[in-house]
Amino acid sequence: MDAADTAALAAALTEEQQEIRHTLRDLLTERAGPRENREATATPEGYDTELWARLSGTLGLVGIALPEQYGGAGRGPAALALACEETGRALVPSPLLATAVLAAPLIAALGTPDQRAELLPRIADGSLTCALAVPGGSLTLALGLTGDNTAEDWSGGGRAGGIQARATDGAGDGGAGWRLYGEATQVLDGHSADLLLVAAHTGGFARSRTLLFLVRGRADGAPGLVRTRRSVLDPTRPQAVVELRDAEAELLGGEPADVLGALATTGRTAAMLLAAEAVGAAGAVLDRTIAHLGARERSGRSEGALLAVKGTLADLYVQVEAARSLTYAAAREPGPEGGPLALAQALEALRATAGECVRLDGDAGSFSGGEAQLFFQRAASDELLFGPARRLRARAAERTGLFGEVAA
C-alpha cells in the first residue's frame, strides 16, 4: 500500500473510532508529556494511577475488546489498535499491554466460567491489573512469534528448569491446589500487577505439558512470591523478576486445554497491537521533527543542509506509512501472519526514525529535551522483548511454507 491507501484506510474509520482517537489524544497530550511520564515511571507502580483510572474507567480502554457480558465494549482488537497507536505516540507508561493485550485474552480463552465471571469484569473496569510471567527471557517464543512454541521446552523440561508446577491434595477440589517453583526474569509490569498468569511445566516425563496458573498478589506480599523491579532500557516498559518459592497457585481453566495454541493466538493479536504502538511512536517522532525543521527553515538555516534533511525525512515517512498500512490491514483482516509481519515493519520503522532523529538532534535539529532518545529506547527495548524483526519475518515465512513445508 502507498500513502494514498493509508489515507483511505484512515478516512474509513467510523465516527466512533475517530472519537476514541481524538478523545484519547487530547487526554494524553494533557497528562502524558515527557515530564509527566518521567514522574510516573519513578513511582512504585511505574505509571500514573490517576491517568490509568481515567483510561480504564472513564474511557473504558482496557475493556474495549472484551465481550459485553463481562463489562467490556465488545469492539474487538481493531478498536484497541487505535487506542494503542495513541498510547504509543505519547510513550505513556501503563499496564495496558500486560493486562488488556496479554493477560485478558488468555483468561477469556482458557478460564472456567467462574474465573471469567470473577476476573474479566474487574479487568474491564481497570480495578485488576495482570501480568504474564514466562520463564527466563522466552516471552516471544512462548507467544509463538519467533519460533514454534510447541517444539521447545521453554517452560521447563522434565523435573527441572524453567518454572515447575506440582499438584497438591487440593487440586481439583475448588482450592488453589498447586505449588509453583522457579523464576521469570522479564515480566512486564510484574512488580505491580494484582494477578500473575504464570506459564509452568508439569507432569514430569510421563505427562509433560505446559499449563497456565493464577498467582494472586497482595499489597502485603504473598507467601512464596518475591517480585523485584528491574532496571530496564525503556522505563515506560517496567519489568520485574518474579521468583516463585513454593507459591500457591490456581490452575487457569481445566484439563485438557490447548494452552500453547491460546498463547500463539494471543501472540498474533499482541503483535498487531504492538505494531500499532510502534507506528504511533514513529509517527510522533516524525511529526515533531518535521515541525521543528519548519521552524529552522523559517529562521534561515542553510539551504543545502535543509534539503539533505528533507530527503532523509521523506524516506522515513515512506517507512512509517508502510508500517501503518500493514498494521491497519492486520487489524481489519486478522490472519495468522499479518500481526507479526506488521510488527517487524513497525519495529524497523521506529528504530530507523528514532535513530535518525537522535542524530539530527545534534545536526539539523529535531526536538529538544532528549525526547528522540526515549523513542529510540522504546524501539530497542521492544526488539529485545518481541523480536528481532528478522526473526519475526523468518517465523512468518516458515509458517506460510515460503521456504519449505508449512510449520506448526
Average pLDDT over residues 304-312: 71
Residue 55 CA to residue 208 CA, distance in Å, equals 41
User: Residue 227 in 3-state DSSP?
Assistant: strand
In the structure grid, which three cell numbers stand for residue 252, read together?
487457569
| Interval 152-170: pLDDT, tens | 778 876 656 789 999 987 6
Q: Cβ of 59: how many Cβ atoms within 10 Å?
A: 16
Confidence (pLDDT) at 301:
54
pLDDT > 70: percent of the chain? 84
Residue at 27: amino acid letter: L
Strand partners, 165: 180
pTM of the predicted protein model: 0.90
Chain centroid to Cα 128, Å, comes to: 17
| Interval 25-81: pLDDT, tens | 999 999 999 999 999 999 999 999 999 999 998 889 999 999 999 999 998 898 899
Average pLDDT over residues 382-387: 92
| Interval 313-366: pLDDT, tens | 889 999 999 999 999 999 988 777 899 999 999 999 999 999 888 777 655 444
| Interval 199-221: pLDDT, tens | 999 886 667 889 999 999 876 66
Q: What spatial distance separates the first Cα and last Cα of the chain, rounded to whole Å?
A: 29
Going by C-alpha positions, the residue among 162, 112, 122 that lies closest to residue 142 is 162
